[in-house]
């Protein structure tokens, strides 16, 4: 994106345990308007490929440089040039402990591709060390963690961008503006869907820790357990390590729903039905199918979300008429109004339909259906230079609010009953077990999210 376009785009749009883990004071003042922003990469997994690709493209146009890498798996560090060709032959500082990378006073910002079990603590440490952060989704693993991330970002004046890239897609932004202008009338409901084909995941079989992997650091705040390839590579389906289908795709779609409906407060009532209905992979703790319903008080639109992970029909034209970027995966968001409905069938398009016959109306379609990774990173870097979190399209506060829906749904599923919630205190009403799961998780020393940041 050219500089002039980017400027126009922006217009539109504590203690952590033992003393040895103490995080340093703010290391380096924020980069000036023309200074090179030096970025460290944290967690060399699959999503980091998108991070690296964007940051590499921005090297000249946005004066950004990747200067360091960090992972607790030595094999990934040793093969970084093969996994990320943009980094081949590049002189990089190499760390296997994020706290040491945060100590590096020459690093201005961190691009965080870790799993959600680590997002909160790593972001808080980065903020305390004076680093801005791009944090991939899902934002956090508990509501308490999200509050602490927000508190740290504000206390240390750090620019923390959540990886909900839809908020930086020009076509999605246009569609949201159309909703606010009343293109389909008064909105009374919104629905997100996530239908993906997932096979049998197998079982947990303990085995020796692979050479070069620091299993303790990989687990971080979560309980120690014997190593298994299931836990290491399929952690997404273990609810003590992630929020699984409650948050992975759902946070994208529910974030769009919050945005489109103007829902700036948490829901007051959450109910969930679901379970494991296919396969015999008994060790997975996440459901194969879930249906969520959210209410936001009197006279507010109804919100629903559904996840399916086996053979299914299409919905609202998703899949056959409007294919998602991943073939055969009906995924997207539907807004229902008194005149018709608007859909976001991918990460970069919207369409409208009116009346009983669903006559097509205004639309903006990106045939590539691509994610807005590059403009999202550009937006983050622009906010870092300006030192103004209000410029962020997906500020830490928006990440916290959108994740709250997914975490409340996961908690309702785990306790097996609907939840009544107080948006102001962020407490479950009349249900101590649910409130504890939502706000007070068991964490493992010394990887504990501090109550005072």
What is the pLDDT confidence band of residue 282, given thresholds at 50, 70 and 90? confident
Strands 37-42 and 64-70: parallel
Residue 439 is given by DSSP the state H
Task: Please report, to the nearest 10 degrees, the dihedral formed by the alpha carbons of residues 366, 369, 374, 380 taken in order.
Answer: 90
For residues 163 and 375, the answer to whether their CB atoms sit within 8 Å is no
Higher-scoring residue by pLDDT: 208, 46: 208
Residue 446 pLDDT exceeds 80: yes
Which region among 49-53, 215-219, 322-326 has the lowest average model confidence (pLDDT)? 322-326
Residue 17 pLDDT exceeds 60: no
User: What is the rounded average pLDDT of the residues 83-102?
Assistant: 96
Residue 308 pLDDT exceeds 80: yes
Residue 60 pLDDT exceeds 50: yes
Task: Please report, to the nearest 10 degrees, the dihedral formed by the alpha carbons of residues 74, 76, 78, 79 taken in order.
Answer: 160
Residue 10, helix vs strand vs coil = helix
Residue 340: which of 351, 352, 332 has the closest Cα?
352
pLDDT of amino acid 20 = 28
What phi-psi label fits residue 443: left (phi over 0), alpha (psi between -120 and 50 degrees) or beta? beta
For residues 273 and 290, the answer to whether their CB atoms sit within 8 Å is yes
For residues 118 and 84, the answer to whether their CB atoms sit within 8 Å is no
Domains, the chain, with CATH or none: 3-167+373-394 (3.40.50.720), 170-207+209-364 (3.30.360.10)
Residue 399: which of 290, 255, 238, 231 has the closest Cα?
255
Residue 275 pLDDT exceeds 60: yes
pLDDT of amino acid 160 = 98
Q: Sheet harboring 350-354: ordered strands across? A: 359-364, 350-354, 340-344, 331-337, 187-195, 302-308, 289-295, 269-275, 419-422, 427-428
Quote the CA–CA distance of 374 and 64 in Å, as a whole number: 13
- Which CA distances in Å does 126 have to 122, 157, 169, 269, 363? 6, 12, 27, 34, 41
Residue 324, helix vs strand vs coil = coil
Q: What residues contact 287, with CB distance under 8 A and at least 6 apart?
A: 244, 245, 274, 275, 276, 307, 413
Q: Determine what percent of the chain is predicted with pLDDT higher than 70.
A: 92
* Helix and strand numbers, DSSP H then E, in the chain: 14, 16
pLDDT of amino acid 29 = 41
b/e map 366-382, b = 16+ CB within 10 Å: beebebbbbbbbbbbbb
Residue 190 pLDDT exceeds 60: yes
pLDDT of amino acid 372 = 93
Q: What is the pLDDT of residues 165-181, one digit of tens each?
A: 999 999 999 999 999 99
Quote the CA–CA distance of 151 and 145 in Å, as a whole number: 10
Which region among 32-46, 212-226, 291-305, 339-353 has the lowest average model confidence (pLDDT)? 32-46
User: What is the rounded average pLDDT of the residues 196-212?
Assistant: 93
What is the pLDDT confidence band of residue 323, given thresholds at 50, 70 and 90? confident
Q: What is the pLDDT of residues 347-364, one digit of tens each?
A: 999 999 999 999 999 999
pLDDT of amino acid 369 = 80
What is the pLDDT confidence band of residue 49, given thresholds at 50, 70 and 90? very high
Which region among 3-17, 75-89, 243-257 has the lowest average model confidence (pLDDT)? 3-17
For residues 109 and 39, the answer to whether their CB atoms sit within 8 Å is yes
CB hemisphere CA count around 257 (13 angstroms): 35
What is the Cα Rg of the chain in Å?
21
User: What is the rounded average pLDDT of the residues 105-113?
Assistant: 97
Quote the CA–CA distance of 276 and 41 in Å, as a whole number: 36
pLDDT of amino acid 250 = 97
pLDDT of amino acid 7 = 37
**Cα–Cα–Cα angle for 90, 94, 98, rounded to 5 degrees:** 135
Residue 13 pLDDT exceeds 70: no
Decide: pTM greater than 0.85. Answer: yes
Task: Please report, to the nearest 10 degrees, the dihedral formed by the alpha carbons of residues 258, 259, 260, 264 taken in order.
Answer: 60
pLDDT of amino acid 33 = 57
Q: What is the pLDDT of residues 143-160, one digit of tens each?
A: 999 999 999 999 999 999
Residue 437 pLDDT exceeds 90: yes
User: What is the rounded average pLDDT of the residues 422-439?
Assistant: 97
What is the pLDDT confidence band of residue 423, given thresholds at 50, 70 and 90? very high
Q: What residues contact 170, with CB distance under 8 A and at least 6 apart?
A: 9, 12, 372, 375
């Amino acid at each position: 994106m050219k500089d002039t376009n980017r400027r126009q785009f922006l217009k539109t749009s504590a203690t952590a345990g033992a003393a040895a883990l103490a995080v340093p004071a703010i290391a380096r003042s924020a980069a000036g308007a023309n200074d090179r922003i030096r970025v460290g990469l944290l967690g060399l997994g699959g999503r980091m490929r998108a991070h690296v690709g964007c940051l590499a493209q921005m090297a000249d146009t946005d004066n950004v440089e990747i200067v360091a890498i960090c992972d607790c798996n030595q094999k990934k560090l040793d093969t970084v040039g093969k996994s990320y060709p943009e980094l081949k032959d590049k002189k990089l500082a190499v760390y296997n402990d994020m706290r040491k990378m945060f100590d590096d006073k020459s690093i201005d910002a961190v691009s965080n591709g870790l799993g959600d079990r680590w997002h909160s603590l790593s972001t808080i440490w980065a903020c305390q060390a004076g680093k801005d952060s791009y944090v991939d989704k899902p934002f956090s693993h508990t509501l308490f963690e999200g509050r602490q991330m927000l508190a740290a970002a504000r206390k240390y004046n750090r620019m923390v961008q959540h990886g909900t890239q839809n908020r930086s897609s020009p076509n999605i932004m246009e569609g949201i503006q159309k909703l606010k202008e009343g293109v389909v009338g008064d909105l009374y409901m919104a629905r997100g869907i996530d239908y993906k084909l997932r096979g049998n995941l197998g079982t947990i079989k303990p085995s020796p820790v692979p050479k070069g992997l620091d299993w303790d650091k990989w687990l971080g705040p979560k309980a120690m357990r014997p190593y298994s390839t299931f836990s290491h590579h399929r952690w997404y389906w273990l609810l003590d390590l992630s929020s699984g289908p409650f948050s992975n795709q759902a946070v994208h779609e529910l974030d769009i729903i919050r945005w489109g409906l103007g829902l700036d407060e948490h829901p007051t009532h959450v109910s969930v039905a679901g379970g494991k209905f296919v396969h015999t992979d008994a060790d997975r703790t996440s459901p194969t199918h879930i249906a969520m319903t959210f209410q936001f008080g009197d006279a507010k639109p109804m919100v629903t979300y559904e996840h399916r992970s086996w053979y299914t029909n299409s919905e609202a034209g998703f899949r056959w008429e409007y294919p998602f970027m991943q073939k055969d995966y009906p995924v997207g968001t539907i807004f229902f109004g008194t005149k018709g409905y608007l859909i976001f069938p991918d990460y970069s398009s919207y369409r409208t339909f009116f009346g009983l016959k669903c006559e097509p109306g205004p639309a903006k379609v990106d045939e590539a259906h691509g994610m807005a990774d590059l403009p999202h990173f550009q937006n983050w870097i622009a906010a870092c230079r300006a030192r103004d979190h209000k410029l962020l399209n997906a500020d830490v506060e928006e990440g916290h609010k959108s994740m709250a829906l997914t975490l409340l749904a996961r908690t309702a599923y785990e306790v097996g009953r609907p939840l009544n919630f107080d948006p102001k205190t962020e407490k479950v009403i009349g249900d101590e077990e649910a409130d504890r799961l939502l706000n007070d998780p068991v964490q493992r020393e010394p990887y504990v999210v501090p109550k005072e940041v």
